[in-house]
Structure 1
């Protein structure tokens, strides 16, 4: 059985019936063949442009060399949870995120001490590119750079940072987005209204559609990697079954006062051995 051309191709390249001698036909064709073929090829390219599957620039990773983990499984949505109070002056909040170890597991948000004075934390993020989800690790730096447009809450609302600032060698806490105790006095209030929260945990098609601007790309220079206690915090949580994602479940531990410190559930209640504990909730991300 012969294959039939699609109708649009038949119209572009119809079969010709030669009614004159081959020599005369070829001579006449030489005059118009150049323009005719070029016109048909242009028309065909326009048709293919519309029927070919689209390639989205959003799914082209701007920073492929930064990726440390790749998987074809999309990360779950970010959970809502309550931030525990700051354990002491100088501590800095790093929001929770999904990490990968043969499955997604939740690394609780945690208060940590910066490696040095003047540094701010840029969270890591998952980016979808060419069929894979790649993890871009977080880092410390003098400014907050690009973190995929992911709304982690607590001052990290997708772009920029509103949790606090350094002044004279001391960190000033913005108490409108970070929860600090009464024993911390270097505070200020800068209310931020970010509207409804997008809980998508990755950048790209199906997630957050946000590309780095020039200023954010410049801020990615002079990066200091996560501290050893931050890396150990991530590794330790991968050994806890209750942190792994499963349908219709939520992580056992959502946040911590410090790496290896007190644990808190989704509502901000301190957890005890064998179950949830007491305590009062605080600000949600």
Structure 2
């Protein structure tokens, strides 16, 4: 009977797993941590009296969100000792995921765990405040306040410029070609005056420990990198969307993957996000 119980639990849980992963990943910014939270929710689902649960999806979303709130507290402590800029794990897709882009993920990092949960559940996943309240165990009025505060913080990070998807991928491919070949003229034509570069190596692979800001600094950085690419090589694995932004995955000379995501406004690249930390790239293999 135990096996039948497990089969029954899996049959009702598995169709919801992708949705639960979306909630957990957007709460945590880590694919591995999100997978752990969803798996822990499954273990609890197997042990629960499922005949008493009227809405499995709501029950499991609450479970995952609460697990993530606990996880965020320890994640905050780990971030304080993180080497260099922290970027969320790259999620690479053929098409654009528009609800939460990389700049918005970074803005969510500045929120308290409860603000983050209220904003995501209400503004991104479209839940009513009564459901949000039941999930994070606060009253609906408090949840409204949390979401309002969060909205104020993240307003600037929400996508203001919609770039044509095809044009976005073309720009990413052109950026890859120019940055690897050392075509500085072509590269410079793509960059905004206030462009920035954020590189996450996590202390595991060489990466700048501080972001580079401004056209001149970013051009100098890419001139130095181009010399390395020409000497050691860099191979394009695929172009597409990285956390909702046009970008690409490359195989670098050390045999490790790397992702590059480009924030684009008015046809110019305003920010370049590079993830090199191998711990954050494992799921892409």
Structure in which a larger fraction of residues adopt helix = 2
TM-score per shorter chain, which class?
under 0.3
TM-score w.r.t. the length of structure 1 is: 0.23
Kindly name which structure, 1 or 2, has the bigger radius of gyration based on alpha carbons: 1
TM-score w.r.t. the length of structure 2 is: 0.23
